[in-house]
Amino acid sequence: MIYRLTQFRVSVLVVYLLLGVITVGAIKHALNYSVPGYIPFMMGFRERMQSQANIAGIRKWIGKGFSSKEGEIVPSTWPASVKKLSPKFVTIKLEGKAVKLWWGGGFGHWGLVVGPEDMVFPVSKDEFIVPIASGAYVWSENQ
């Protein structure tokens, strides 16, 4: 009886040690090959923009034209489709054919760009870009 209890305790100890080694190995692997933190954040931000941003409403606003071909747009002139998203600021892009909504601060910026449906998504080493619709994408500064 004592022999069986001791054998059982040793077996349980071996199982715990093996599980510990496997867990430590998995954590080391995850740390060596982890996904940059901004990617999961951007996937969530993309889902939020797909469900909450009124792309057609923003395009309608762009279609009315701006007094300038570049620069920041004052919040008092933002339409409801932009105000409901609460960006920090909005800038004009592509000589008035697109707008860039900005969020963030000292640790980085991210946002939404809306332009014509045939707008080509830029390739950038400075920004992580994820399309959400034709002519619209979310972006984040690479960190």
Q: What's the pLDDT tens digit per position in 126-139?
A: 888 899 999 999 99
Residue 40: band (very low, low, confident or very high) from pLDDT cuts 50, 70, 90: confident
Residue 109 pairs with which residues in a beta bridge? 104
Mean pLDDT (the chain) is 82
CA–CA gap between residue 10 and residue 37 (Å, rounded): 41
pLDDT at 120: 85
**Residues 87 and 75 sit within 8 Å (Cβ to Cβ):** no
Assign 80 a pLDDT band (cuts: 50, 70, 90).
Answer: very high
Q: Is the pTM of this model over 0.85?
A: no
What pLDDT score does 133 carry?
A: 93
Whether residue 125 contacts residue 134, with contact meaning beta carbons closer than 8 Å, is answered with: no
| Residue written as token pair 């004052």 | 74
